[in-house]
């Protein structure tokens, strides 16, 4: 959000907007930037239902970005396990600061 970073979960996304879940309800009309590499999109809040909010993007998100986000979603568990193994291996070898 414009007034600070707020962690969120993207529940649904399209080229023109998204439904996200935030920790605390915020007023409608706020603007912000939704950042989840490779996504970096300016948005305006258009609706709210408790901690769920709807946003519209200033510019449509590319199809390639949506596909990349889908791949990240589909492979998140495997990537998380791989990163955990890499961190443990680095810790055992003394390479982790």
Q: What is the DSSP letter of 62?
A: P
Q: For residue 76, what pLDDT is reported? A: 61
Q: How many other C-beta atoms lie within 10 A of the C-beta of residue 39?
A: 19
Q: For residue 94, what pLDDT is reported? A: 74
Q: What pTM did the predictor assign?
A: 0.69
pLDDT in tens, 8-22: 888 999 999 999 998
Residue 67's pLDDT band (boundaries 50, 70, 90)? confident
Whether 78 shows a pLDDT value over 80: the answer reads no
Whether 34 shows a pLDDT value over 70: the answer reads yes
Residues 72, 77, 82: CA angle, nearest 5 degrees: 100
Distance separating alpha carbons of residues 85 and 89, to the nearest angstrom:
6
């Amino acid at each position: 959000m414009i007034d600070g970073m707020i962690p969120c979960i993207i529940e649904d996304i399209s080229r023109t907007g998204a439904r996200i879940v935030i920790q605390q309800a915020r007023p409608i009309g706020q603007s912000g930037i939704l950042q989840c590499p490779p996504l970096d999109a300016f948005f305006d809040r258009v609706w709210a239902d408790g901690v769920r909010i709807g946003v519209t993007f200033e510019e449509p998100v590319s199809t390639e970005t949506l596909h990349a986000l889908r791949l990240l979603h589909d492979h998140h568990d495997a990537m998380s396990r791989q990163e955990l193994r890499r961190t443990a291996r680095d810790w055992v070898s003394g390479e982790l600061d």
